[in-house]
Amino acid sequence: MDTKSLPKTVTLNNGVEMPLIGMGTYAIPQLDQVIYESIKKGLRLIDTAWFYGNEKEVGLGVNKAIDDKVVERKDVFVMTKVWYTKKHDPESSLVEQLKTLNLSYVDLYLDHWPFSINMVDGKEIKTPRHVFWKNMEGLVKKGLTKSIGVCNYNIQALQDILSYCEIKPVVNQVEFHPYLYQKGLLDWCSINGIHLVAFNSLCKGKYTTMFHNEGTTLNLLEEQVVKDAAKKYGKSVGQIALNWSLSQGIHIIPSSSKPERMQENMESDTFTMSKEDIENIGKLNKDYRFCPATIQPGVNYDGFA
């Protein structure tokens, strides 16, 4: 059995180092304290978004850790996202988000959705992607963010950006887990130097109960192949699920309101599963999406993955 640890960070296509394990912050109570305690336990990557409405709490937790000299600002990788109604002016959005976060810059600014809808004087305004991306590149040049990336993009939408961009997206954050094994997207992104960041890696929490998925019987942590691997490697079923993504070079951002659980999540890189075990878990694929927002009827998402 291979007990070799997996890498802690990867180098993005712009030379920036990014942790492979982080924390998602959607719908977590007392978030500032959870972040502070988790940073004390080793957390270095934090994911948030304007839409989550929690950037103030994220900033409080990060700044408390900095003020208490637990970490320096350069040690914590903070990523947030622009909402689709604000893509006509991402600079104004990020400036306001930085004020809320009480930070002078973020490490990564993501396009939350591959479409743009904004109402101005009662008229719907859609910002062309090439115009939007040029404005995103300006945020890097002005030092407001160190890197830029995207969320929920499929290959066609990514290829569109690559055809004209000056600064490539460094990551694509998508729903990715054994039930939704987007291997084609993973392979294409790897070839083109774009890292995947997976959300909903554990298939737990709000994403499994919202809207049309309410009452789903799918439970990744109860799958026999996952439980067998946990027994084999002497790890928790959650660590097996997370290691499955890490073993393929995918960033993970599992959520938890308990710092001790976050520490367990962060220890998911302390072992290496065999290629056979990774493939067997991947056979759970059902092309099943838990996140209802990605398949909401009546909305043309123009390129989501």
What's the domain range around 28?
9-202+249-257+285-292
pTM: 0.93
Residue 165 lies in a domain: yes
| Helix orientation angle between 155-162 and 129-141, rounded to the nearest 10 degrees | 60
| Helix orientation angle between 224-233 and 237-246, rounded to the nearest 10 degrees | 90
Residue 236 lies in a domain: no
Whether residue 164 lies in the annotated active site: no
Residue 227 lies in a domain: no
Residue 237 lies in a domain: no
Among positive and negative, which fits the CA dihedral 178, 184, 185, 187?
positive
Instruction: List the catalytic residue out of 26, 36, 52, 84.
Output: 52
Residue 20 lies in a domain: yes
DSSP annotation of 112 reads S
- The number of distinct structural domains making up the chain is 1
| pLDDT single digits (tens) 246-265 | 999 999 999 999 989 999 99
CB 305 within 8 Å of CB 154: yes
| pLDDT single digits (tens) 56-108 | 999 999 999 999 999 999 999 999 999 999 999 999 999 999 999 999 999 99
Q: How far apart are CA 200 and CA 250, in angstroms?
A: 13
Q: How far apart are CA 136 and CA 195, in angstroms?
A: 18
Q: How far apart are CA 266 and CA 268, in angstroms?
A: 5
The confidence score (pLDDT) of residue 96 equals 98
Q: How far apart are CA 117 and CA 302, in angstroms?
A: 12
pLDDT tier, 187 (very low <50, low <70, confident <90, very high otherwise): very high
| CATH number of the domain that residue 68 is part of | 3.20.20.100
**Going by DSSP bridges, is the β-strand pair 148-151/123-125 parallel, antiparallel, or unpaired?**
unpaired
Among positive and negative, which fits the CA dihedral 175, 177, 182, 188?
positive
The confidence score (pLDDT) of residue 124 equals 83
Residue 110 lies in a domain: yes
